[in-house]
Structure 1
Amino acid sequence: MIKRYSLIAALVLATLAMTGCGKGNEEAADLPHFCTQDGSRLLIKQGKVRMEIMPKVGGRISSLKYAGHEILVPIVDLDKVTDWGTVLWSSPQSDWGWPPIDVLDNKPYRLTTEDDRVVLMSEIDPRTGYQFTKTYRPNGDDRILIEYRITNHSNESKNLAPLEVTRLPSSGSLFFPSGDSEISSGLFYSLDVQTVDELTWFDYDRKKIRTDHHKMMQDGKEGWMAYVDQGYLLVKEFSDSPAGTTAKGESEIEIFAHVEHIFIEMKQQASIQTLAPGEHLDWVVVWHVKKLPEDLAENPTPQALAAYVRSLLGSVAR
């Protein structure tokens, strides 16, 4: 769910967070029971899921394991921050270009806790006036809920949307319910995707990723996107954005494949909206992480996988 809040509410919440409201501090002893701290890394445990977060590197998710099996791209070089991790960006990307804004993407975030939540807050980016807050907490068996907040601290209204970017290994398949727009690739080479019944389906084939980066963009339906590889499943659940409501040149669902086969990006975003000075928006994404049941792992047809994904949903209010 995505919401917008007023100037007064934004200022009160920002003040509380920056002064260490409630249990907020950086001592591991004050972290919620599901979270431990190892040096500069936080580890959230829920069921068989282990999520690692790095507050000093953009508050980003750096590892996601199910029963010890890594699902994300591992960190090879901490300095190559655009090659790994899950990050929050603002959409449209054309507002800031490339590389990502370091204050929001990879600079240290302040760690606090609120009740059963781990809260990470960026500094204010001087160019855009944006400040990002990322809140993490378990949400049932093998599920972790992430609430993103973008606050507009500038002196002018901003048209923007939240965009989550997850870097995955160059293998496996991505799929989601096809929406009401055509598939496009923007400035990049197109990805070889198929339509299987009501699904848009992408199987990674490194022989088809050549010459340059490849990308696909399309509207989705039902508010979910999934990745499956080696019998493990990651599902992102979020509020569906109707076709035509995302930023110009963007789509609700995007898949990006790196030309050097370093990663695939699994990306989804919300509808664009206007934030007046001092206002903020909240956006909830729930991660479901599973090892496929044996019978499904042996016969992972698109229809059976989609049915299994749908059986997991219901954590985000629609």
Structure 2
Amino acid sequence: MASIKALDNEKYSVTNGEVTMVIDAAHGAKILSFKLGNDEVLNQGTAENSFGSTFWTSPQKEWDWPPVPEYDTKPFKAEITGNKLVLTGSKSSFGYSIRKQFAAGDKENTISVTYTIVNESGETRKVAPWEISRVKNDDGVVFFEGNAVEPGNNMGLLPFKFEFGGAWYVMDEDTDHRKINADGRGWLACCARGLLFVKKFKDLQPSQPAPGEAEIQAYANIGKTFVEIEEQGEYTTLQPGASLDYTVRWNVARTSLKPVPSAELFKEAKKLTE
């Protein structure tokens, strides 16, 4: 059964089958929670830039750090239109505005998230979409279909292994920030605590991401805190007033498999991309 509900404090829920996603319109239209039943997928907490799932423009070098408030923390206007929740942000100093659309996915226990970047400047611009989802660093494994990674954002390299057709990062602990860029095949997964979380998106050719960026990124924060699983869309030229759309299908299922590299876990994740 699919439904969209307005909750307290400008929060909204989208439910499909056993999964529920909660979005905070008052604070960047962030995805605060993604649950299968009562089991949470995303990292929780209050520390800035450490919880939930957010959306930014790419390349990062255009705005550096911290995240642009209009994308990440400022209020979005929310509207429930039929079977969709639409949240619209304000124009940033970089000339873009962001719109987010949430709806039940085409299969049970999936949520479809479509991000729109609108060029509200008076100039022709190039930009790419970028979703950042944070999961708890809790003895899990992050993986995707690929055979190589490289350091991202001049950070240390995460210790990915390559076997069973995939690239695998078994969560660990370190005293430094680490990040990778990689070319994938249009999906990215995380397995931990008996849950298999899979995001599906458009597969890119290696030449299509923004300069210095990649289709797939993974970042591990200092210590044993949280890990970001990230994907980006095509670096696109937008004329004044033009926009681009980027859709990610979120899926989660229970699994009896251990969160370690295996042919069986790779197969289960691939099945969730169908």
- Alignment partner of 1:48 is 2:18: yes
Q: CA RMSD in A?
A: 1.7
Equivalent in 70, 88, 101 of residue 135 of structure 1: 101
Shift of the 132–99 alpha-carbon distance from structure 1 to 2, 3 Å rule, reads same
Equivalent in 99, 108, 123 of residue 156 of structure 1: 123
Equivalent in 119, 124, 141 of residue 173 of structure 1: 141
Q: Determine the structure 2 residue equivalent to 1:236.
A: 199
- Alignment partner of 1:306 is 2:270: no
**Of Structure 1 and Structure 2, which has the larger fraction of its residues in helix?**
1
**What aligned pairs does 1:86-235 form with structure 2 within 5 A after superposition?**
86-125=53-92, 127-139=93-105, 140-171=107-138, 172-178=140-146, 182-206=149-173, 209-210=174-175, 212-221=176-185, 223-235=186-198
Equivalent position amino acid for 1:62 in 2: L
- Alignment partner of 1:258 is 2:208: no
* Runs of 4 or more above 6 Å deviation: none
User: Could you list the per-position Cα deviations for residues 141-181 of structure 1 after superposition, in whole angstroms to 9, with x for gaps in the alignment?
Assistant: 110000110000001111110000001101211000006x6
1-structure distance, mates of 2:258, 2:152: 33
1-structure distance, mates of 2:55, 2:48: 13
Contact 1:81 1:106 in 2 (8 A): no
Q: CA deviation at 1:55?
A: 0.3
Contact 2:143 2:166 in 1 (8 A): yes
Equivalent position amino acid for 2:178 in 1: H
Contact 2:172 2:224 in 1 (8 A): no
Contact 1:237 1:313 in 2 (8 A): yes
Equivalent position amino acid for 1:307 in 2: K
Unaligned ranges ≥5, structure 2: none
Q: Percent identity of the aligned residues?
A: 29
2-structure distance, mates of 1:50, 1:178: 30
2-structure distance, mates of 1:273, 1:103: 20
Shift of the 263–298 alpha-carbon distance from structure 1 to 2, 3 Å rule, reads closer
**What aligned pairs does 1:19-58 form with structure 2 within 5 A after superposition?**
33-58=3-28
Equivalent position amino acid for 2:31 in 1: I
User: Could you list the per-position Cα deviations for residues 157-209 of structure 1 after superposition, in whole angstroms to 9, with x for gaps in the alignment?
Assistant: 11110000001101211000006x65233311111110113211000012xx1
- Alignment partner of 1:286 is 2:249: yes
Where 1:189 maps in the other structure, the secondary structure is coil
Where 1:99 maps in the other structure, the secondary structure is coil
Q: CA deviation at 1:299?
A: 8.7
Larger radius of gyration: 1
1-structure distance, mates of 2:55, 2:259: 34
Where 1:38 maps in the other structure, the secondary structure is coil
User: Could you list the per-position Cα deviations for residues 20-56 of structure 1 after superposition, in whole angstroms to 9, with x for gaps in the alignment?
Assistant: xxxxxxxxxxxx9433423332122211112111000
Where 2:150 maps in the other structure, the secondary structure is coil
Q: How many aligned residue pairs are there?
A: 271
Where 1:131 maps in the other structure, the secondary structure is strand
Where 1:200 maps in the other structure, the secondary structure is strand
Q: CA deviation at 1:84?
A: 1.3
Shift of the 299–161 alpha-carbon distance from structure 1 to 2, 3 Å rule, reads closer
Shift of the 247–146 alpha-carbon distance from structure 1 to 2, 3 Å rule, reads same
Q: CA deviation at 1:71?
A: 1.3
Equivalent position amino acid for 1:255 in 2: A
User: Could you list the per-position Cα deviations for residues 8-27 of structure 1 after superposition, in whole angstroms to 9, with x for gaps in the alignment?
Assistant: xxxxxxxxxxxxxxxxxxxx
2-structure distance, mates of 1:216, 1:298: 24
